[in-house]
Structure 1
Amino acid sequence: MNKNLRYAAELENLSFLDYILKENKRLENKTGLKRTIFAACPNSMAVMKAALNSAKRCNAPIKFATTLNQVDLDGGYTGFTPKQFADKIRQLAKAINLQSPVLIAIDHGGPWLKDSHRKENLNYEETLGQVKKSFEAAIDCGYDLIHVDPTIDITLPKEDTIAIKTVVERTVILIKHCEKYRLQKGLPKIAYEVGTEEVHGGLVDLSVFNEFFVLLKEGLEREGLSNVWPCFVVGKVGTDLHTTEFDAEVAKIIVGIAANYGSVIKGHYSDNVSNPEAYPKAGMGGANVGPEFTEREYEGLMELEEIEHHLFIEGQVPKMSSMKQTLWEAVISSGRWVKWLEEEENSKDFYANKLQRQEWLIKTGCRYIWQNPEVIASRAALYENLENNSIKAEQILLSHIEKAMDKYFYKFNLVDLNDLLEENILKNDLNL
């Protein structure tokens, strides 16, 4: 996982991610080629394996951006605590002798951004306290970045938007807590990502965006944190769950604003984007992709079930795994699909919604139920049925996800970046 690069970052007193972004800028100045860091949201074991395989094949850095719903002290819906997740990623990387940089991050860490905090109707102090503990756990096990995201407040009336001053105040509180904890533990520098508005896609409000930088700079300086600054700022660049067009012109504007303050823009909801090659051209520093890989995993399972069905007809399989039926029943009974409904859709009767929407809700909702016992059992039966017939089930499944990931490594100009980073270390003779 490239300890040499981590050591080089420490020598320059930089976080690992800040170091890689600095090197990206150096390479851009030298060659004119811009790069965008690719972050995968690890919502299943298959996605974790696929991301590492793809990173090895492309010889490029890979970043894992995990939400508190996915990985947290309570295990999240993946079943991993932060330490278990970090250990598993390192174990999987070692198993394939991955030499590329692997970065681990908290995505959307802030008050009420964990679904259970909203369901339990926690007050501000309660949710803040739990978020702080989650951040501490991430720092303890060597996470590289924390996305500090206090952009929602469930105590406000539904039609109200949280004040930008409040967002900044809470951002500073959380960064200050992280830095105090990190320094007390004597741990290496970590990177920060921040957001100016609640990220539900759409386009950025430029006046709010500018004000955020001014207030954040003042707030950090006031707390004696002038040496701490977020490398990533989340920018709303036209993409959301239901649109796939990246607005490069808007992106260029906010990229320029962020650059004046020493930050780069991170795009969220980059799933299935129709023009990924426009990200580096616009100067985007990073992009998160998550639900797209759940969709590809679902499609991979459907291919496997189709193979299983043919084998069953031929008498080669004694009993079908009922994979599709199990997934649909698990997602529907979980109730998690309600979170993604449009206002006019039916939250009481799943099957009252349009068939196309049902399919989408199941595909995107599978990430919440991969670890359900009945889903694990059905997948195991499916794999066994195929492998008993000399069919490589997991390899077929991972190929669906890896194909989607390879696209981002290529379109974001990341292929063989690892070699370029290593060359600079050798050139500068850092005695590693």
Structure 2
Amino acid sequence: MTKHPLLQMIKLQKKGTPVGIYSVCSANEFVIEAALERGKQTKSIVLIEATSNQVNQYGGYTGMKPKDFMKFVEKIAKKVNFPMDRIILGGDHLGLLTWTHLDEKQAMKEASKLIELYVLAGFTKIHIDTSMRVADDDQQAMLSTGVIARRGAELAEVAEKAYAKLKAKSPNALHPVFIVGSEVPIPGGAQEEEEGVAVTKVKDCQQTINTFHEAFLSKNLKEAWNHVIAVVVQPGVEFGDSTVIEYDRKKARTLTKSLKAYKNLVFEGHSTDYQTKIALKEMVEDGIAILKVGPGLTFAAREAMFALANIEEALLKGTKTKPSKFIEVLEEVMLKNPRNWQKHYHGNAQQLAFKRKYSFSDRCRYYLPNEKVQAALETLITNINTIGIPYSLLSQYMPVQYTKVREGIIPCTAEALIKDRIVNCMDEYLYATHQEKLG
């Protein structure tokens, strides 16, 4: 690539061609492998993003620094023979999120290091998010757009300096593109059930854009501003444990029409998980060209793992082969380490047990890397692949994959079945985005 594909996306959008891209916000190996395999089949660019609490200079909850995450993706790309130059690596909510317990000076120092490492590692889509209060901000007052923009411009300056260092070593390195704004819950999902969400007001969106523009220019960052391609808005979509707030283009129309005033900007929509493919298509048509999806992908992976566990139980009942007990092990680990779900799930014991397994928020994803869970998953995969799945059982638990197996589209292996369930979700985004037109 000699030009950033997302600049081509902007060009097409402004010509009236509804092209977008979906963002794989996940560090799950099955998810990333499925995305790259599907990208290869559809000849599409693939966008993969890591959040600042997932991947940072201290390792985040994945244990990976930005360079590690890049190598992690590179290893999977090599496995599936997908060219790295067709992968866009993005950093989501890069800024103060992980450092809100510090005062501004120290928090900005940490955020600056974070941004620098992402850019130096070759991440070329950078969401600068300075929308949260730090320790020495007034905790009772809303943070002003001016303060948010000033901090954001300071981090953009860091990114520009890091890019200059990178380009000195790698002359063909793409200039990163920037996303500003944050009209969404914190990364990881809302902590309360959403009863309704308000679409971003046009005046608030305009104020964000104008204030950021002024802040960038005040620091002589004209070139950086030319690479700001999107602003995060709330287009009226969200999901709870078992509910989804659908995109309503009529309610969002005033906001989406306001995009016409900006020749180089589109909207980025977060929490687009579980929207229908028609709703996703309408969002792209309305200028919400970057569609973030995370929990929806690991939710699909978890569904497939549970289906295989049920198949395993049916096959091994009354035999001497030891079952994986994957569902039980996952529950045991989640109960023993409740930190990643207890703020998000509410209710009585029965309701909590249900949500731990089946919530759309999919807090399960934080526990899949656990050693015990991984061991159970490996046993599950080994058992399934050793015994084989009768078509009648595959039809019972994974009817879509049953049809694909019968038609010779996918093999009947545990790994292929898990990845194809994830692809079911990805295909709805590919239907909406037409991202194969980006290169």
TM-score range (shorter-chain normalised) is 0.7 to 0.9
Q: Distance in 2 between matches of 1:338 and 1:154?
A: 24
Q: Distance in 2 between matches of 1:173 and 1:304?
A: 49
Is residue 21 from structure 1 mapped to residue 25 from structure 2 by the alignment?
A: no
Structure 2 counterpart of 1:178: 159
What are the within-5 Å matches in structure 2 for residues 238-387 of structure 1?
Answer: 238-242=236-240, 243-261=244-262, 262-274=264-276, 275-313=279-317, 315=319, 318-332=321-335, 333-341=337-345, 345-346=346-347, 351=349, 353=351, 356-361=354-359, 364-387=362-385
Structure 2 vs 1, CA of residues 98 and 68 (structure 1 numbering), >3 Å: closer, same or farther?
same
What's the C-alpha RMSD, in Å, of the aligned pairs? Answer: 2.4
Please, which of 101, 105, 115 is the counterpart of residue 135 of structure 1?
A: 115
Q: Distance in 1 between matches of 2:271 and 2:341?
A: 18
Is the Cα contact below 8 Å between 1:308 and 1:382 reproduced in 2?
A: yes
Is residue 417 from structure 1 mapped to residue 418 from structure 2 by the alignment?
A: no
Q: TM-score, normalised by structure 2?
A: 0.82
Greater displacement, 184-193 / 320-329: 184-193
Query: 1:355 Cα shift?
Result: 5.5
Amino acid at match of 1:81: K
Tell me, which stretches of 5 or more residues in structure 1 are unaligned? 1-5, 10-15, 422-432
Query: 1:219 Cα shift?
Result: 1.2
Please, which of 77, 82, 91 is the counterpart of residue 98 of structure 1?
A: 82
Q: Distance in 2 between matches of 1:83 and 1:105?
A: 12
Amino acid at match of 2:159: C
Structure 2 vs 1, CA of residues 43 and 250 (structure 1 numbering), >3 Å: closer, same or farther?
farther
Structure 2 counterpart of 1:191: 177
Structure 2 vs 1, CA of residues 196 and 86 (structure 1 numbering), >3 Å: closer, same or farther?
closer
Q: Distance in 2 between matches of 1:278 and 1:47?
A: 25
Q: Distance in 2 between matches of 1:328 and 1:251?
A: 40
SS at match of 1:287: strand
Query: 1:181 Cα shift?
Result: 2.4
Structure 2 counterpart of 1:425: none
Q: Distance in 1 between matches of 2:159 and 2:388?
A: 50
Runs of 4+ in 1 over 6 A off after TM superposition: none
Q: Distance in 1 between matches of 2:174 and 2:283?
A: 30
Query: 1:136 Cα shift?
Result: 1.4
Is the Cα contact below 8 Å between 1:70 and 1:77 reproduced in 2?
A: yes
Count of aligned positions: 390
Structure 2 vs 1, CA of residues 86 and 193 (structure 1 numbering), >3 Å: closer, same or farther?
same
Structure 2 counterpart of 1:430: none
Query: 1:247 Cα shift?
Result: 3.0
Is the Cα contact below 8 Å between 1:237 and 1:251 reproduced in 2?
A: yes
Is residue 40 from structure 1 mapped to residue 24 from structure 2 by the alignment?
A: yes
Is residue 122 from structure 1 mapped to residue 91 from structure 2 by the alignment?
A: no
Is residue 162 from structure 1 mapped to residue 143 from structure 2 by the alignment?
A: yes
Is the Cα contact below 8 Å between 1:193 and 1:232 reproduced in 2?
A: yes
Is the Cα contact below 8 Å between 2:269 and 2:291 reproduced in 1?
A: yes
Q: Distance in 2 between matches of 1:184 and 1:141?
A: 11
Amino acid at match of 1:408: Y
Is the Cα contact below 8 Å between 1:77 and 1:369 reproduced in 2?
A: no
Please, which of 199, 202, 206 is the counterpart of residue 203 of structure 1?
A: 199
Structure 2 vs 1, CA of residues 172 and 199 (structure 1 numbering), >3 Å: closer, same or farther?
farther
Please, which of 73, 76, 94 is the counterpart of residue 109 of structure 1?
A: 94
Q: Distance in 1 between matches of 2:354 and 2:321?
A: 32
Greater displacement, 97-106 / 133-142: 97-106
Q: Distance in 2 between matches of 1:91 and 1:399?
A: 20
| 1:274-309 deviation line (CA, Å, top 9, x unaligned) | 321211221222110011112111111101101110
SS at match of 2:427: helix
Percent of matched pairs sharing the same residue: 22
Is the Cα contact below 8 Å between 2:9 and 2:20 reproduced in 1?
A: no
Structure 2 vs 1, CA of residues 141 and 52 (structure 1 numbering), >3 Å: closer, same or farther?
same
Structure 2 vs 1, CA of residues 24 and 62 (structure 1 numbering), >3 Å: closer, same or farther?
farther
| 1:185-212 deviation line (CA, Å, top 9, x unaligned) | 4354111011154546642132221111
Q: Distance in 2 between matches of 1:254 and 1:203?
A: 8
